[in-house]
Amino acid sequence: QKEVEQDPGPLSVPEGAIVSLNCTYSNSAFQYFMWYRQYSRKGPELLMYTYSSGNKEDGRFTAQVDKSSKYISLFIRDSQPSDSATYLCAMISGGYNKLIFGAGTRLAVHP
């Protein structure tokens, strides 16, 4: 069993839809959670960084962490074609600096 599970998709939605991306994890030592967006042939871009259970909002993006269920989510409101990319969840244990990535979910937002 992988430490971090993420559905690779692809996920196709119409423009304006609310997108829900999810990851589950098995290691209860993970304390810090990140979401990255990666366009084709580019490096990942940090979208959200959270370290506690609950919600964190930044513009059209909301990150949600449920440590009791070992489940994290990223919601994208009013999705745009420019949001089409691969979204990677990543997490890290306290005291360590090695990120553990999910497989990435490919998202396509069509006009």
Partner 1 sequence: GAVVSQHPSWVICKSGTSVKIECRSLDFQATTMFWYRQFPKQSLMLMATSNEGSKATYEQGVEKDKFLINHASLTLSTLTVTSAHPEDSSFYICSASGRGRNEQYFGPGTRLTVT
Q: Which is nearer to partner 1, 79 or 105 (CB)?
A: 105
Q: Pick the binder of partner 1 from 1, 68, 98, 111 (CB under 8 A).
A: 98
| Listed ranges 15-23, 28-36, 62-70, 72-80: which one lies at the site for partner 1 (CB under 8 A) | 28-36
d(CA 20, CA 25): 17
Question: Which x/- pattern, by CB under 8 A, does the window 32-51 give for partner 1?
Answer: x-x-x----xxxxxx--x-x
Size of the site for partner 1 (CB under 8 A): 20
Torsion of CA 46, 72, 83, 78, to 10 degrees: -130
How is 36-49 classified by DSSP, letter by letter?
Answer: EEE-TTS--EEEEE
